[in-house]
Amino acid sequence: MRRILVVLLLVVASAAALAAPRPVLVLGDSLSAAHNIPVEAGWVHLLEVRLREMKAPRPVINASVSGATTADGMSRLPTLLKEHRPALVILELGANDGLRGLSLAEIRANLEAMIRACRAARVEVLLVGIELPVNYGPQYRDGLRALYRDLAAQHRLPLVPFLLDGVALKPELMQDDGLHPTAAGEPAVLDNVWQALAPRMARLR
């Protein structure tokens, strides 16, 4: 009798796990890891709060790591997909590649590999673009900007063209390094993401 009860409990637990809403996974760098500000002030936590308050709440997993490159993300993604079974991945990587002046072809190949891995796992992708400081020169900056736009068009993905749009050029919303938002700038960062994410939420399984 005890054995039957254990089996029944396992079946119920498995059914509950399958019925639970699959999370949104954020795979990013310091721009998504609440660099030098309280975690609760970061845009990813603000997103989690917003989704928690919706009619159909959905959890958020923040797998962002400060300093991460697209190569780092590519190496970590298979385990993250298997462990968390997300409904959607918000892919915010490339800033550190760009700051190091890495090959645009390499950045594109890594991002595309991650997109394909998500698609193979039946996981939707929201692609987040970044912009580099002007001292990196127009050719490289324009190439990086176009890279995100082209990948989004090729794979029919929703795109946030520039995560820090409306924030990066406002000193009062940026930290002293000129690269990361202050806590006061994070709600605007979330708004940039939400514009592309909101239309997708109703379609997630």
The pLDDT confidence band at residue 54, using thresholds 50, 70 and 90, is confident
Task: Quote the pLDDT of residue 1.
Answer: 56
Tell me, yes or no, whether 154 lies in a domain: yes
Does residue 10 sit within a domain?
no
Does the annotation count 30 as an active-site position?
yes
Decide if pLDDT at 20 tops 90: no
Asked, for residue 9, whether it belongs to a domain, the answer is: no
**Residue 128 domain-assigned (yes or no):** yes
Tally of structural domains, the chain: 1
Give mean pLDDT, residues 72-101: 98
> Does the structure show a pLDDT above 70 at 17?
no
Q: What is the pLDDT of residues 113-169, one digit of tens each?
A: 999 999 999 999 999 999 999 889 999 999 999 999 999 999 999 999 999 999 999
Asked, for residue 141, whether it belongs to a domain, the answer is yes
**From 29, 30, 64, 97, the catalytic residue:** 30
At residue 4, the pLDDT reads 55
Q: Which of 32, 64, 97, 180 is catalytic?
A: 180
Please indicate, yes or no, if residue 11 is contained in any of the structural domains: no
What range defines the domain where residue 121 resides? 22-201
Residue 3 lies in a domain: no
User: For 53-76, what is the mean pLDDT?
Assistant: 95
Angle at 40 between CA 34 and CA 43, to 5 degrees: 55
177 is catalytic: yes
Catalytic, 35? Answer no
Neighbours of 183 (CB within 10 A): 15
- What is the band of 183 on the pLDDT scale with cuts at 50, 70, 90? very high
pLDDT bucket at 55, cuts 50 / 70 / 90:
confident
Q: How confident is residue 3, by pLDDT bands cut at 50, 70 and 90? A: low
Distances in whole angstroms, Cα of residue 177 to Cα of each of 31, 57, 180, 200:
12, 36, 7, 34
CATH number for the domain spanning 177: value is 3.40.50.1110
Higher-scoring residue by pLDDT: 54, 29: 29
Percent of the chain with pLDDT strictly greater than 90: 84
Residue closest to 196 by CA, chosen among 90, 85, 120: 90
| 125, part of any domain | yes
pLDDT the model gives residue 193: 98
Q: Where are the alpha helices (DSSP H) in 20-67?
A: 43-52
Where do we find the tokens 């993401």? Answer: 193
